[in-house]
Amino acid sequence: MLTRLTAAIASATQPGGAGLAEAVLSITDTLVVVLDPQGRVVRFNPAAERLSGFSFEEVRGQVLWPFVLPEHEVAGVVQAFESLAAGDYPNRYENHWQTRRGEWRYILWSNTALLDARGRVALVVATGVDVTREREERRARQETEDRFRALFEQSADGVVLIDPHDPEVPWRIVDCNEAFCRMNGYARDELVGQSVDLLHPYPMMAEEGGELFAWIREEGQVHGEGSHLHRDGTVFPIESASSVVTVGGRELILGQDRDIRDRKRTEEQLRLLAAQLAHDSQHDALTGLPNRTLLLDRLQVELRRAARDGRALAVIHLNLDGFRRVNDTLGHAVGDAVLREVARRLQEDVRPSDTVARLGGDEFVVLIPDVGGRPEAGGVARRLQAALAQPIDVDGQPVNVRGSMGVAVSPPDSSLPANLLRQADLAMTQAKREGKNGVQFFQKSLDAAVHGQLHLEARLRAALDAGGLHLHYQPQVDTTTGALLGFEALVRWTDTQLGLVSPARFIPLAEEAGLIGPLGAWVLDEACRQAAEWRLRVPIAVNVSALEVAQEDFTQRVHATLRRHGLDGGQLKLEITERLSVQDLQRAARQLAQLHGLGVQLSLDDFGTGQSSVSTLLQLPLNELKLDRSLITGVAESPIEQRVVSALISLGRSLNLTVIVEGVETPEQLRVLRDLGCGAVQGYLTGRPGPASMWTPHLGGPLPLNLPERSAGAGDGEPLLN
C-alpha cells in the first residue's frame, strides 16, 4: 500500500499536482529519496539532507549507497533495491544510515515504484522515518514520563494522545499540548476526555476508526492530510502524522497535527495563476477569442476529422475595411470596443461547434467544420457580413464596419492548417483588391506565392544535394559565472539566386515538402562533426522537428551519428519544439526515452508559447526547459512578465529541469533573469550566432562575449565572464 506521502508524490504526474508534491517534499519531516533504476539519486528532500548531512547537489545523479550505508549493510540493501526495481513493490525494510558526522541512524523505509507508460519501473520512491530514538527507547527502556511530557509540551506542532480502545468514548483524547489547543480554539480541559470526533466535520473515528488504527499499527507511522472543525465553526486543513505509542502500559495513538491553511492558500494561488497563464496563452486578451495558436490546434483536429469522415470544412478570413481610420479618428479605446462587438456578433452568428478566432489587429478567422462545400461556406460568409452591417454604438457614437472575407474550403483546397489559413488570407486580400466588403474564394490563380514556394523548394533540394547549407553557432552561458555551457547549432542557407533565406521561411517548407528528414540529418551530422573537431566538453545543441522525432529510425540515426564522430550521448543536446500534438507526444515519448538512455540531453524548446501543459513535461524524459524569447521582451520593466518567468523557472526546478532563457539582448534583461534565479541564457547579448571559424580561436580561453558587470553586491563588480 502506498503511503499518503508517496501518493502525494505520485500526484505530481497529474496536471497541477507538482506544486502540492513539492510543498509536501519540502515541509515534511519524512525522508524522501527518489532513485532511478540504477540507484542514482533523482530527489533528496530537505529532511534527508538534514539527517544525512549531505546536500541534494552532492548526491544528485550519484549511487546513494556509498554516502550513507555502512559497508556490511550494502549488499542487503542492494538486493532489496534490485527486487523493488524488478517489480517487487511496494515493500518495507529497515537499515542504518551513517551521517556525515559519523552518527548512526536507524531508518524505517516504505518503498514503492513509479512506472512509465510501458509499465516499467521509472523511479523508485523511498519514504523513510528516522526511528533511531524509538529503537533506543525500546532497547534501553530509559525514557521517563517526565521527559515524554517535556517533549510533548514543547512541540511547535499540535500533539495529542488518543485512546482508540475506550468502549464508551470513541478515540478519547487522553492529553494534548498547548499548540494543539490553540490550533483548534479550545482549552485543554475542554478537550481531554472528549472524542477526537469533536474536531471532525463528521464522526470519522466512530465510523472509520478501526480501519485507521489497523493502518497505523501496520505502517508504524502514517502521514496524511485532513481537516479539523475549529471551535468557531470553521473547517481548516491540517497535515497529520500518527503513530502507535505505549504510555504507562497503555497502547495510545500519538498524533502530530499542523495547520496548513497558509500553504493551501499559496497552492490555490499558484493553481489559479497556472490556469490563467494557460488560458492567456491560447486566447486573445482583448476579445477573449481563441488566438492563432488555439485556432491552428483546432484546425488540425478538424482537418483530420474531415479526412476521416469524408466531409469538408471552411476557413473564412475576415479583415475589417478601413478599421485604421476608426483608431485614428475616434481613438484606440473606441477601436477596442468595436473589435469586442465584432467578436460578439461573429460568435452569436455561428454554431457552437464553429470557432471564431482573432489573429490580431482587425483580423478574424472563422472555422466552420462539417460544411457542404463552397455554396454553403459562401452562405455562412454572407451571413456574417450581414451580422456586421448594423452600426456599432460606442458611447452614443455609431460606428459602421464592413469586412472583406476570403474563403478556403478543404477539400479541394489545402489539407495543411497553416497553408489553408494562408489560402483564405490570399482570397481575403483579393476581396479587398476588388472593392472591399466582398467575399472571395481561394483560386489557384490567386496563389502566385505557390509558384514561389515551388521554386524555393527546388532550390532547397539543390542546396541539400550540393552542400549549399552551413551552420552558425551561438553560445549558451551560465548567468552567474559566465562559463560556457554549450553551443546551439543554427542552420543557415545562402542561395546563389535568392540570397540569404531565413530559417523561418525554409524550415516550414522543408516540413511540408518532406525534406525535414534529410535537412535534420545533415544538421545533426555537421554539428557532431564540428563538436568532435573542437573536442567540446560541453554539449552541442541541435533543433529537431516533431516530424523527425516521429520517424521510427530516428533513435538509430542519432546513435549512428554519435558513433561516427566518436561522441558520447552527453555531448549532444536535442531541442524539441513545444508544438507537439497528442499523437506526436506519444511517439516522441517512446523515441526520446531511448535517446535519454543513451545519455543524450533533451530540451523542450519554445516553452511558454502556449502549446504544452505540465502533463507534457511529465510525459517526456526531459533535462531542460528553454523559455521562448517572447516571454522576456519586456521583463526588465514589467512585473507581470517577471512573475510569469519566475513561475516558469520554479516549475522547471520543481521537475528537476535546467531552465535556459533565449533571446537575451540587453544587460537589464540579464540582470533581472539572474535575480529571478535563471541559471543559463542565450542571445545577442551573450554572443551572436557565427560560423565555426569565429569561435574556434577562442575555445582555449575566454570567449569574446561582451557581458555587463554584475550589479553591486552580486560579485564585487567583477565581469560575468572570466
Rounded mean pLDDT of the chain? 84
The grid coordinates listed for 684 are 545577442
The answer for residues whose C-beta is within 8 angstroms of residue 523's C-beta and 6 or more apart is 469, 471, 489, 491, 542, 543
pLDDT beneath 50, residues of the chain: 1-2, 12-13, 143-144, 581-582, 711-722
For residue 597, what is the enclosing H or E element?
A: helix 582-597
Question: What span, in angstroms and rounded, lies between the C-alpha atoms of 186 and 183?
Answer: 8
List the beta bridge partners of residue 507: none
Assess contact for 527 and 471: CB atoms under 8 A.
yes
CA distances from 316 to 288, 312, 348, 354, 408 (A): 19, 13, 16, 11, 7
Amino acid letter, 420: L
Tell me the angle at which helices 503-512 and 516-534 cross, rounded to the nearest 10 degrees: 130
SS (H, E, C) 251-305: EEEEEEEEECHHHHHHHHHHHHHHHHHHHHHHECCCCCCECHHHHHHHHHHHHHH
Instruction: Extract the C-alpha cell encoding 492.
Output: 543557415
C-alpha Rg value of the chain to the nearest Å: 32
Range 43-49 contact pairs with CB under 8 angstroms and sequence separation of 24 or more:
43/656, 48/128
Convert the pLDDT of each residue in 333-363 to its tens digit.
Answer: 888 888 998 999 998 888 998 889 998 888 9
User: Rounded to a whole number, what is the distance in angstroms from the first to the last CA of the chain?
Assistant: 53
422-462 pLDDT, tens digit per residue, is 888 888 888 887 778 888 888 887 666 556 767 888 889 99
**Bridge partner residues of 121 (DSSP):** 115
| pLDDT value, residue 587 | 66
47-66 pLDDT, tens digit per residue, is 999 999 999 999 999 999 89
pLDDT tens for residues 683-717? Answer: 999 889 999 999 998 887 666 665 666 544 333 33
Q: Rounded to an integer, what distance in angstroms lies between the CA atom of residue 639 and that of residue 265?
A: 21
Cell of 578: 513545444
